Structure 1
Amino acid sequence: MIKVLLVDDESWNRDIVRTFGSWEELGMEVAAEAEDGIEALRYMQELRPQIVITDMRMPGADGVTLMNQLHQHYPAVKIIVISGYDDFKYAQNALRYGAVDYLLKPIDPKELNAVLHKCRQELEAASREPDSLGLDMDVSFSLTACKQRLRVHFNELHVDGVAAALQEVRRELERNGVTQSGTLHQVARELLLLLRELMRSNALEEDGQIAQITPDVLASCANTADFLMKQYAYNLELLVKQRKFKNKLNLDEIRQYIEHHFAEAVTLEGLARAFFVSKEYLSKVFKQEYGRGVTDYILHLRMEQAKTWLADERIPIKTVAEMSGYEDVAYFYRVFKKYYGIAPGEMRKNTQV
């Protein structure tokens, strides 16, 4: 049976999901229920569920915090987000952590079971891959920095940067004397999942292709790295063609790209490289069209989103900083205070009055 974990601080919401799910028909069971992200992570270690259905707004460790941890340490787990209509933007940003889908409250039984069926199909497909083993959290953690670099380099069409990141993975595997095909399979699977995410965010889902992992790919660290490079290079080439050979610069496309990626390391230089224009020209025409320079536009989006999330006292300020694109909370405080003239904590107190 496929194990499912329900995460919601309100028991009646969990009751609804448990009642509406066609568990037996889908070959699933609700293995446990948690009231917040911390309790959910304990169940992840104890029970190893394959599907997590989580609400977004919970006291303590909320849905974003939970999804961040699942994304890092349990990347193969299927996540379904439950969100109220007013939380849509909040949930939408959280989906960058790899959720299968989101469901709006009140939950429609047909939609719930359709998403569960989709999860089952994906899990069955993954189980048919060669040497499909359980995940090693240490391996997942060791890939975190590489994933961050790959995300930036792919989005900026930086082929050499992608190649350098993947070669670093190979060197690290060889330094640690990795020969087990299970570990190599996990590395390949996690980095292909990232590639799928990058393809979707760059509108390549239909055109791009990703090859299956075969035993030959897992024969050595070099083979695994070469296989991954071919997959990334092929889809990067498609994205280059898509961007480079357009008749003219589409500023609306760039604006939408920024709005989708504002929480990542988006820069004027990176955008110029990704859309094949000079940074001087891009800066000039973007400001003429939208009244702000690219850097100011990114800052504006981050600050407006941060202000919105701060209005909800259940979202920790550290989480607000991370969701807004700032890993360094102290730096987030400085930027926020400079922008609004008031610290994040003070802003939150004022909105609660």
Structure 2
Amino acid sequence: MIKVLIVDDESWTRDIIKAFGDWEQLGMVIAGEAEDGQDALRQTEELAPDIIITDMRMPGTDGVQLLQLLNVRFPQIKTIVVSGYDDFQYAKHALRYKAMDYLLKPVDPKELNTALLHCKNSLEAAQLDRGAWSLDLDISITLGTYKQLVKSHYNELNKEGIVSTLTQMMNEIEKIGNGKPAILEQVIQEMILLLKELMIANSQDTDRLSAIYGQEVIGSSTATCTFLTLYYEEALDQLILHRKFKNKLNLDEVRHYMDKHYSESVTLEQLARAFFVSKEYLSKMFKQEYGRNVTDYMLHLRMVKAKEWLLDETIPIKAIAEMAGYEDITYFYRVFKKHFGIAPGEMRKNSEV
């Protein structure tokens, strides 16, 4: 198992990371937790973790110092930076000390698991004497918007949308990176990791993707686009066949999909289209099986999660709203009170009594 050490002075952040990580699926185990950099170094010597997830602002030895020391003393360890501050200086430190990814609080489950996959595959590549590559944050930022579009198109089974987005993405990367091999390699790694995440979320076999990490860097942006398009189309065709030509609708798959995507804007129409049934049929069968319609089930998922997080008074209610999929905190308050008959702040206050 790949061993992970979580470093953050806030217990709620550590708890959220523990809750959001797909540890078993990724073949990982949380080996330990530390509240500051000094404790992290002590545990690193004792536990020999493969991956360290660290905050930047901590008392005593902070994240910057920790990254610097790890880079010198334990260069083989992969690091992921989690920060509550969208500060370019921290991003520069993360890049300088070869962090694999830089995530902002509140932690997004999908971004966290993508970063973990990134680390896992880099560790696997290192075992094959391939050598680790450092992350160019500018390229990652550029890829961010395109990743969101690709996710949406994949979940909607929109092959044309994926092809168009990948083409636009590579045109922009060509302008920024001038076709440099290291940039093209990073694009391939990040986009294949995204595909792996999407396939796992849809219960697809990802074994074939493992072979990609031993290949040589592709020599042009056009070839990279063709390469990525091939893999995405193949995976999407596999998913479409799986859903379209089964004897009947698999409601467990629908619920699994909703459980994975509760923080996103998932509608009945999107679900019906993705599972090749009418929205009327899906709504009827789902309610018959689970006693709730699709919209109510999604709302229930979000509210249950929000209630769990509220029990930890150190988590800001605004962060809870965002993690539950609500950008408008006022709307979150209204929905929460309607669902539980009590406002989030009141529930938190009552739980302290």
TM-score by length of 1: 0.70
> Aligned with 1:38: secondary structure?
coil
CA-CA distance at 1:235 after TM superposition: 0.9
**1:302/1:325 contact within 8 Å kept:** yes
- Correspondence for 1:199: 199
Percent sequence identity over matched residues?
Answer: 45
Query: Following TM superposition, where does structure 1 have runs of at least 4 consecutive aligned residues deviating by more than 6 angstroms?
Result: 73-76
> Aligned with 1:315: secondary structure?
coil
- Correspondence for 2:22: none
| Aligned 1:262-341 pairs, distance under 5 A | 262-341=262-341
Structure 1 range deviating more: 286-295 or 41-50: 41-50
Unaligned residue ranges in structure 2 (runs of 5+): 10-34
- Correspondence for 2:137: 137
2:347 pairs with 1:347: yes
> Aligned with 2:178: secondary structure?
coil
- Correspondence for 1:21: 47
> Aligned with 1:212: secondary structure?
helix
**2:99/2:134 contact within 8 Å kept:** no
CA-CA distance at 1:172 after TM superposition: 2.0
CA-CA distance at 1:266 after TM superposition: 2.1
CA-CA distance at 1:346 after TM superposition: 3.3
Task: Assess, with a 3 A threshold, how the Cα gap between structure 1 residues 120 and 248 changes in structure 2: closer, same or farther.
Answer: closer
Whole-Å separation in 2 of the counterparts to 1:99 and 1:136 = 14
Of the three residues 123, 126, 130, the one matched with 1:124 is 126
Task: Assess, with a 3 A threshold, how the Cα gap between structure 1 residues 180 and 119 changes in structure 2: closer, same or farther.
Answer: closer
> Aligned with 1:345: secondary structure?
helix
> Aligned with 1:326: secondary structure?
coil
Whole-Å separation in 2 of the counterparts to 1:249 and 1:13 = 51
CA-CA distance at 1:156 after TM superposition: 2.6
Task: Assess, with a 3 A threshold, how the Cα gap between structure 1 residues 251 and 135 changes in structure 2: closer, same or farther.
Answer: same
Of the three residues 89, 92, 100, the one matched with 1:77 is 100
Whole-Å separation in 1 of the counterparts to 2:80 and 2:173 = 34
| Aligned 1:100-179 pairs, distance under 5 A | 100=116, 121-125=123-127, 128=130, 133-176=133-176, 178-179=178-179
**1:268/1:279 contact within 8 Å kept:** yes
CA-CA distance at 1:189 after TM superposition: 1.0
Structure 1 range deviating more: 138-147 or 329-338: 329-338
- Correspondence for 2:245: 245
Of the three residues 39, 51, 68, the one matched with 2:78 is 51
Which amino acid letter does the alignment assign opposite residue 222 of structure 1?
Answer: T
- Correspondence for 1:108: none
Superposed CA deviations along residues 120-161 of structure 1, whole A, max 9, x for unmatched, are: 8425058617xx642111111122222222222222322122
- Correspondence for 1:225: 225
Structure 1 range deviating more: 315-324 or 255-264: 315-324
Which amino acid letter does the alignment assign opposite residue 77 of structure 1?
Answer: M
Which amino acid letter does the alignment assign opposite residue 173 of structure 2?
Answer: L
**2:153/2:159 contact within 8 Å kept:** yes
- Correspondence for 1:42: 64
> Aligned with 1:264: secondary structure?
coil
Task: Assess, with a 3 A threshold, how the Cα gap between structure 1 residues 180 and 256 changes in structure 2: closer, same or farther.
Answer: same
CA-CA distance at 1:176 after TM superposition: 3.8
CA-CA distance at 1:285 after TM superposition: 1.5
CA-CA distance at 1:313 after TM superposition: 1.4
Task: Assess, with a 3 A threshold, how the Cα gap between structure 1 residues 331 and 191 changes in structure 2: closer, same or farther.
Answer: farther
**1:14/1:33 contact within 8 Å kept:** no
Superposed CA deviations along residues 164-194 of structure 1, whole A, max 9, x for unmatched, are: 3212212322444632222222111111111
Task: Assess, with a 3 A threshold, how the Cα gap between structure 1 residues 119 and 253 changes in structure 2: closer, same or farther.
Answer: closer
**2:79/2:99 contact within 8 Å kept:** no
Whole-Å separation in 2 of the counterparts to 1:322 and 1:208 = 35
CA-CA distance at 1:224 after TM superposition: 1.5
How many residue pairs end up in the alignment?
304
Which amino acid letter does the alignment assign opposite residue 113 of structure 2?
Answer: Y
Whole-Å separation in 2 of the counterparts to 1:162 and 1:33 = 31
**2:108/2:323 contact within 8 Å kept:** no
Task: Assess, with a 3 A threshold, how the Cα gap between structure 1 residues 14 and 128 changes in structure 2: closer, same or farther.
Answer: closer
Whole-Å separation in 2 of the counterparts to 1:270 and 1:202 = 15
Superposed CA deviations along residues 216-250 of structure 1, whole A, max 9, x for unmatched, are: 73x32222222111111111111112222211112
Which amino acid letter does the alignment assign opposite residue 78 of structure 2?
Answer: I
Q: Relative contact order (C-alpha < 8 Å, sep 6+): which is higher?
A: 1
Task: Assess, with a 3 A threshold, how the Cα gap between structure 1 residues 8 and 344 changes in structure 2: closer, same or farther.
Answer: same
CA-CA distance at 1:206 after TM superposition: 4.8
**2:139/2:173 contact within 8 Å kept:** no
CA-CA distance at 1:338 after TM superposition: 4.3
Whole-Å separation in 1 of the counterparts to 2:346 and 2:7 = 31
Whole-Å separation in 2 of the counterparts to 1:33 and 1:195 = 23
2:207 pairs with 1:181: no
Whole-Å separation in 1 of the counterparts to 2:265 and 2:145 = 13
**2:196/2:206 contact within 8 Å kept:** no
